[in-house]
Amino acid sequence: MVTSTAPSPAWRGLFPAVLFVVFNLGDMAARLAPPSCHLVRGRSTLALALSRIALIPLFMVCHMRPGDSAVPTLLPSDAAPLLLIALLAASNGFLTACPLIYGPLSVPPPEQKQAASLLVLALNVGLTLGSLLSFLLHGLVCSCNPFVN
């Protein structure tokens, strides 16, 4: 629902694709940087993951088409959603790679395969729940039925 504020119709049309590309590049770059994972383990991983919740209200106050949002626009530039999506992407890649790499190593060797499988299951459950919760968030932002609009 976030849109560009630029006067150029071409840029406004490309803006969603640019956000998509920025997310995927940031996510991939962060997943390729696991040597720094040793800095984040245990409760600090959970704290970092939970801190990403702060990005939700920030996205909600970015520019959207008039009438699309019941929330006022407080971040009216194109730079804000680009920076926020880059932060989301980097944290997503980092917080996905680190537990999947180091999680199985924190259990005895005979249980490492099972631990890795449980981590992948937890990742998939989290992705599914996040996708389902996006409908609720969409409904709150637009004050509409997210299944129709």
pLDDT tens digits for range 28-85 = 999 887 667 777 777 788 888 889 999 988 988 888 877 777 778 888 889 999 999 9
Decide: 18 and 82 in contact? Cβ < 8 Å.
yes
pTM of the model: 0.76
Is pLDDT at 134 greater than 70 in this prediction?
A: yes
Provide the pLDDT for residue 101.
85
Report CA-CA distances (Å) from 145 to 68, 133, 137: 12, 13, 11
Tell whether 4 is covered by a domain. no
Instruction: Give the chain's mean pLDDT.
Output: 87
Provide the pLDDT for residue 83.
96
Overall domain count for the chain: 1
Domain carrying residue 92:
9-142
Decide: 40 and 99 in contact? Cβ < 8 Å.
no
Provide the pLDDT for residue 149.
58
Tell whether 2 is covered by a domain. no
Q: DSSP for 37-77?
A: GGGS-THHHHHHHHHGGGHHHHHHTB-B-TTT-SSPPSB-S
